Each structure stands twice: as C-alpha cells, then as structure tokens.
C-alpha cells in the first residue's frame, strides 16, 4: 500500500491505541495509514519538521508525490482532519472549527496530558491484525 495520508500516534499509549482502533473500525476509504511517533517513519517526519520536536500529539501527515511528508497537522487540527477523512456522522465534529484554535488545542492538551490514565491497563502497544497490517508503516507498530 503506497500513498495516502498517515496518522502518527503515541505507540506507548493505550488511549492512543484505542483511538487508532476506533479509526480503523470506521474507515470506509481504507487509505489512511498509521505509524507510531517512536517508529522509523515517525522519526523521519519529525526530522523533516523540526517544529514537531516536542510534539507528542497525534499528527496527520499528508504525503507528497514521492511519499515524503508534505504537510503536517497537529493536535485539534489533526483530530478534525481525521473526522473529515472518516466522513458520515463524524463530519458533525467539524463544527469545532468555529472554536478558535487556541481554545481547541487547550482542550486537546488537557485530554493528552491525562491520556495515559484514561484507560485501565496503562501503557499498551497496538498489534494490528493481519487484515490491516499493511496499513502500518513501521513493522513494530
């Protein structure tokens, strides 16, 4: 599988793993790919975008013609982009764009700060099933 957007997520976070599972369940297009922030692809994206050095948020990556990261969205912008990608009822969340980004990101950061405690069981790695494994860019994801 080549091309298409990539969603970077915290590979050590149970809440993030559950969020990826939610996206997989509702993804009708099946073109979105995934990679952990800690993996090889996540490291390459962060290397090309120094502004992401301290970001441990979900990151939406639109890839260019050669597969390199062309544009990145973080925090609430990335979450809203996921909603747009999923379509259907998820597009109702796009009304959140009416809220100024600093306020949206403050709410996002509040959840992100506590994400490791939001699910019982703590840290968890995502082990993709064989039916979606080709959509994960890092072999250890």
pLDDT in tens, 63-74: 877 766 678 999
Domain ranges of the chain: 6-135
Q: Are 60 and 9 in contact (CB under 8 A)?
A: no
Q: Are 41 and 35 in contact (CB under 8 A)?
A: yes
Question: What does residue 64 show for φ and ψ, rounded to 5 degrees?
Answer: -85, -175
pLDDT in tens, 70-114: 789 999 999 999 999 999 999 999 999 999 999 999 999 898 888
Instruction: Give SS3 for 111.
Output: helix
**Which helix (DSSP H) or strand (DSSP E) does residue 7 occupy?**
strand 6-9
Q: pTM of this prediction? A: 0.84
pLDDT of residue 70: 76
């Amino acid at each position: 599988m080549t091309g298409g957007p990539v969603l970077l997520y915290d590979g050590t976070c149970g809440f993030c793993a559950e969020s990826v599972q939610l996206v997989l369940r509702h993804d009708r297009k099946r073109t979105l790919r995934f990679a952990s922030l800690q993996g090889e692809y996540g490291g390459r994206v962060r290397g090309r975008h120094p502004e992401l050095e301290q970001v441990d948020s979900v990151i939406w990556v639109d890839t260019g013609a050669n597969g390199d990261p062309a544009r990145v969205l973080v925090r609430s912008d990335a979450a809203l982009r996921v909603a747009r990608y999923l379509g259907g009822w998820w597009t109702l969340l796009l009304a959140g764009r009416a809220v100024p980004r600093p306020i949206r990101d403050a709410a996002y950061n509040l959840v992100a700060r506590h994400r490791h405690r939001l699910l019982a069981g703590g840290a968890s790695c995502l082990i993709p099933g064989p039916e979606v494994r080709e959509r994960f860019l890092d072999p250890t994801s």
